[in-house]
């Protein structure tokens, strides 16, 4: 029986996309994942190029917020960005702690 990974709707006649989403969730969730993944990619570049600590912290906060948002989807078994949001969250939380120490 098909079951939607986002809204948990299930049924014999429910059609889900190849990633496991029903037709109501698929466009919405796909767009939301794309939007937040793009924030992560863009802010990663900002972070790499940033020289000043406040600038780095601002980029880090945006990355962490977007990654947290995506981790919720990963917990439901969906693929989000690459590398996975969980790894991004771990790695950038570490960077933030290092910055706070320096």
Positions touching Zn ion (CB under 5 A) are: 4, 6-7, 9, 22, 25
Q: For the chain, how big is the Rg over CA atoms in Å?
A: 16
Q: Give the residue from 75, 96, 95 showing the smallest Cα distance to 85.
A: 75
CB of 12 to Zn ion, least distance (A): 15
CB of 7 to Zn ion, least distance (A): 3
Nearer of residues 72 and 99 to Zn ion, judged by Cβ: 72
Peptide bond into 83 cis (omega under 30): yes
CB of 31 to Zn ion, least distance (A): 14
DSSP letter, residue 83: S
Nearer of residues 23 and 49 to Zn ion, judged by Cβ: 23
């Amino acid at each position: 029986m098909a079951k939607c990974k986002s809204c948990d709707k299930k049924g014999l006649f429910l059609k889900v996309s190849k990633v496991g989403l029903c037709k109501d969730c698929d466009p919405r969730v796909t767009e939301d994942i794309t939007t937040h993944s793009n924030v992560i990619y863009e802010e990663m570049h900002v972070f790499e190029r940033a020289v000043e600590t406040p600038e780095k912290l601002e980029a880090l906060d945006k990355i962490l917020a977007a990654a947290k948002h995506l981790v919720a989807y990963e917990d439901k078994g969906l693929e989000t960005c690459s590398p996975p949001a969980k790894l991004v969250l771990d790695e950038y939380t570490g960077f933030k702690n290092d910055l706070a120490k320096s």
